[in-house]
Chain A
Amino acid sequence: MSVQKTSPAVGDGWQRGGAQAVRRRVVERLVSVLCYVATMVVLFLLFSILWTLVVRGGAGLSLSTFIHSTAAPGSGGGLANAIMGSCEQTGLAALIGTPVGMMIGIYLSEFDQDGRIVSLVRFVSDMLLSVPSILVGLFIYLIVVEPAGHFSGMAGTLALAVLFVPIVVRTTEDMLRLVPRAMREAAYALGAPGWRVILSICLRSARGGIMTGVLLALARISGETAPLLFTSLGNLNWSTSLNEPMASLPVTIYQYAGSAYDDWVRLAWTGALLITVAVLATNIVARWWLTRNGSAQQ
């Protein structure tokens, strides 16, 4: 023990009591404590949101929420039309957006010979990824709703598709770039044409990651409110026609949360709980899928 104490060790200044060493130690501890506090605060906020949703939203949750359409205050309506509208619009947007997004992702990763225009498409796609969603709503309003003269579920679907595509583009490109070069070369060596190599070899081996992107995109658009306000508007009655205004959960929540009626506010909380559970569950499944696929590939 005594030998160790007398021999000068690396970082010995840390052990001694000089003013400099004390200051360094205090700063280190202080920063650590602050980081712990920051993390705790962020986690606390997440759980506060979830707790509020469960307590307030769970109170109004019943079977009639799912089987009745929205109704006048006091007459015990549900959210059936809003749930249906949300599913229809996000589902259709995903159906439109997935192939388009995948093709753009393929273009970005496989058509490097196009040079600058590929970089431009990538840049624009990245910008669209974070463009304020309300601007997309305005855009679709001006090119679809105004010429047609009425709000429609189709317009809402298109607005959501515009938000959906860039997310799929990003993941498709990233995943295709991970496909080993040897795999492509093997396919080419067997005489497969370029398009077969991309579709049957590259896309197939990247499908886990692309599915994750699609799920994340689905989660993102199913909570979007702003682009739907000016496109599908909302509908108080049951309607599945894409040519008419269509209800959706986020818009219904927006309209109900600000109202003066207790039962509408309660329904808004229930809707909020439903949509959050759906979005977070999709997210967790997507992430789990990615880690599982990632470990399977190794």
Chain B
Amino acid sequence: MMELPSTLTARDGTALDRNARGQYGDIIFGMIARLAGWSILLVMAGIVIVLVRGGWSAFSTFGPAFITSTAWNPISHNFGAATSIFGTLATTVVALAFAVPFAFGVAFWLVELAPATLARFIETAVQLLAAVPSIIFGMWGFFIVVPFMAHYVEPVLTHYLGHVPGIGLLFHGAPYGTGLLSGGLILAIMVTPFICSVMTDVFVSIPAVLKESAFGLGATRWEVMRKIVLPWSRQAVMGGIMLGTGRALGETMAVTFVIGNSNHLGWSLFAPGNTIASLIALEFPESAAGSLKLSALLALGAILMVISFITLACSRIFLRRGIPG
């Protein structure tokens, strides 16, 4: 086995050298590639270590109460994460409540209902919506959505739903326009394209024979979707939704514009609030290096990191298992 190359290269002495150089090249190239690959692990570990270390003084000062405390008082140096964690989760839930049905509707339309040429065009348009920078959503939300919510949507909602027992609580309060509902709506618009694109991909990738057999039995398009396509693609759809959740949790600029930025915890969707990301964006520039406030913000960053990493890890696991092949 080993003699074959040597007999081939025996006529030309340089060929052997070239071969040897190729091996050195492979070793060097392998080292560079490995270094590059491992550097990304270093960056990830760096983010985790640096944030946890930065937030350590806040964690050790307040203990576990940091997560449950609603305080945010830079003067008395009393900080807590509960309000912003609540705001982050609440806006994300609102966002998903709107984004998932819309994303599903658009995906279903693209895959089953639309004419092929139109579908390609519309799909590109939906993807372009995902490409619009978040600050643009923030500005548009601040100048267009917030006044619209304050003048039309919120008064109407209070009028009709404010007195319904149970959910009425959600629609109380002055219609400022800013608040959890507006924040959630803007997030919904931003994450819809992500969820929609995952859904479209899985809906298209289902083996045609499964759908054809169902159609052959006389099922309607909706019945095929609900009883064949959705059960088949459930995992990947969940993965797509988790991906959207991850985006919504960490979104900063768009939310900062419309959330109202007040450290307030309440059930009303109209009340101004804050999220972890918006609080960091607003307060970080005003925090002195080494201060307890800065540490509290970094601790918030670490909490956001944990929440979003769990979500993204779930999303990856679902997506990897969900799409066969």
User: Which of chain B's residues 268-299 have a Cβ closer than 8 Å to chain A?
Assistant: 277, 280-281, 284-285, 289, 298
- Residue from A14, A133, A134, A280 with most neighbouring chain B CB atoms (10 Å): A134
Map CB proximity to B onto A107-126 as digits: 1 under 8 Å, 0 otherwise. 11011001001101101111
Map CB proximity to A onto B27-58 as digits: 1 under 8 Å, 0 otherwise. 01110111011111101101100110010000
- Return chain A residues, CB-CB under 8 Å to B97: none
- Residue from A45, A143, A192, A226 with most neighbouring chain B CB atoms (10 Å): A226
B22 part of interface (Cβ distance < 8 Å): yes
Cα A202 to Cα B304 in complex, Å, equals 39
Cα A121 to Cα B39 in complex, Å, equals 9
Q: How far is the CB of A144 from chain B (nearest CB, A)?
A: 11
Cβ contact within 8 Å between A52 and B277: no
Cβ contact within 8 Å between B109 and A146: no
Map CB proximity to B onto A65-107 as digits: 1 under 8 Å, 0 otherwise. 0000000000000000000000000000000000010011011
Cα A46 to Cα B38 in complex, Å, equals 40
Cβ contact within 8 Å between A130 and B285: no
Cβ contact within 8 Å between B43 and A142: no
Q: Which residue on chain B has the smallest CB distance to residue A53?
A: B136
Cα A48 to Cα B117 in complex, Å, equals 23
User: Which of chain A's residues 254-276 have a Cβ closer than 8 Å to chain B?
Assistant: 254, 257-258, 268-269, 272, 275-276
- Return chain B residues, CB-CB under 8 Å to A126: 312, 316
Map CB proximity to B onto A6-42 as digits: 1 under 8 Å, 0 otherwise. 0000110110000000001101100110111111011
B192 part of interface (Cβ distance < 8 Å): yes
With beta carbons under 8 angstroms apart, the residue of B30, B108, B289 that contacts A31 is B108
User: Which of chain A's residues 129-173 have a Cβ closer than 8 Å to chain B?
Assistant: 130-136, 138-139, 142-143, 146, 162, 165-166, 169
Cβ contact within 8 Å between A108 and B37: yes
With beta carbons under 8 angstroms apart, the residue of B23, B109, B313 that contacts A36 is B109
Cβ contact within 8 Å between B32 and A103: yes
- Return chain A residues, CB-CB under 8 Å to B132: 46, 49, 223, 276, 279-280
Cα A129 to Cα B151 in complex, Å, equals 38
- Return chain B residues, CB-CB under 8 Å to A136: 47
User: Which of chain A's residues 48-65 have a Cβ closer than 8 Å to chain B?
Assistant: 48-49, 52-53, 56
Cβ contact within 8 Å between B144 and A52: yes
Cβ contact within 8 Å between B305 and A35: no
Listed stretches A178-186, A193-201, A205-213, A236-244; interface member: A193-201
Q: How far is the CB of B116 from chain A (nearest CB, A)?
A: 14
Cβ contact within 8 Å between B140 and A52: yes
Q: How far is the CB of B44 from chain A (nearest CB, A)?
A: 5
Cβ contact within 8 Å between A46 and B298: no
A229 part of interface (Cβ distance < 8 Å): yes
Cα A262 to Cα B238 in complex, Å, equals 45
Using A31-B108, A198-B29 as known contacts, say yes or no to A127 and B135 having CB atoms under 8 A apart.
no
Cβ contact within 8 Å between A134 and B281: yes
B126 part of interface (Cβ distance < 8 Å): yes
Cβ contact within 8 Å between B32 and A131: no
Cβ contact within 8 Å between B128 and A133: no
Cβ contact within 8 Å between A38 and B113: no
A253 part of interface (Cβ distance < 8 Å): yes
User: Which of chain B's residues 86-138 have a Cβ closer than 8 Å to chain A?
Assistant: 101-102, 104-106, 108-110, 113-114, 122, 124-129, 131-138
B221 part of interface (Cβ distance < 8 Å): yes
Using A24-B223, A35-B113 as known contacts, say yes or no to A275 and B105 having CB atoms under 8 A apart.
no
- Return chain B residues, CB-CB under 8 Å to A192: 22
B251 part of interface (Cβ distance < 8 Å): yes
User: Which of chain B's residues 196-237 have a Cβ closer than 8 Å to chain A?
Assistant: 196, 216, 218, 220-223, 225
Cβ contact within 8 Å between B44 and A45: no
Can you list 19 pairs linking A and B with CB atoms under 8 Å apart? A13-B218, A38-B105, A38-B106, A39-B105, A132-B308, A134-B252, A143-B46, A196-B22, A199-B29, A220-B131, A225-B135, A250-B253, A254-B135, A254-B253, A257-B257, A258-B142, A258-B257, A269-B139, A280-B131
B→A interface (CB under 8 Å): 15, 18-19, 21-23, 25-26, 28-30, 32-34, 36-41, 43-44, 46-47, 50-51, 54, 101-102, 104-106, 108-110, 113-114, 122, 124-129, 131-140, 142-144, 189, 192-193, 196, 216, 218, 220-223, 225, 243, 246-247, 249-253, 257, 277, 280-281, 284-285, 289, 298, 301, 304-305, 308-309, 312-313, 315-316
A→B interface (CB under 8 Å): 10-11, 13-14, 24-25, 27-28, 31-32, 34-39, 41-43, 45-46, 48-49, 52-53, 56, 100, 103-104, 106-108, 110-111, 114, 117-118, 120-121, 123-128, 130-136, 138-139, 142-143, 146, 162, 165-166, 169, 191-196, 198-199, 219-220, 222-226, 229-230, 250, 253-254, 257-258, 268-269, 272, 275-276, 279-280, 283-284, 287
